[in-house]
Amino acid sequence: MSFGVPVLCLDLGGPAMSVDNNCGRVIPTADRSEKEVVQLIAECLSALLSDPSALESLSRGARSHVTSLTWQAVVARTYDSITAFQSAHH
């Protein structure tokens, strides 16, 4: 993402937790056969390649979104959450 490459991933594991519709696409796998998942991937790639403006938008979104995934950003959000929780309960 830091190079502006949108992510296309399955809704399994970690990558799906880091990708949203602003920086990539998450392919649903529940109740789908391997063939259906492959077809969804192909359709998604085809749609992105046929729409340069959507691809550019996702590219900008990927570069932007990756800044929220740095350790500094994660630690800052964690501390902000702890501080907010403490303030709400005191």
With respect to residue 2, please indicate whether it lies within any of the assigned structural domains.
no
**Is 80 inside a domain boundary?**
yes
Residue 27 is given by DSSP the state: E
pLDDT for position 67: 87
* Collapsed DSSP state (helix, strand, coil) of residue 22: coil
Q: Which residue in this structure is represented by tokens 């005191």? A: 90
1 domain residue, yes or no: no
Query: How many distinct structural domains can be found in the chain?
Result: 1
Range of the domain at 65: 7-88
Q: Does some domain include residue 55?
A: yes
Contacts of 40 (CB under 8 A, 6+ apart): 27, 28, 32
Question: What is this structure's pTM?
Answer: 0.73
Within-domain flag for 43:
yes
Q: List the single range of 29-33, 45-49, 70-74 with lowest mean pLDDT.
A: 70-74
Span 70-75, average pLDDT: 88
d(CA 86, CA 80): 10
Instruction: Give the pLDDT score at 77.
Output: 87
pLDDT score at 70 = 86
d(CA 80, CA 89): 14
Of 77 and 28, more confident: 28
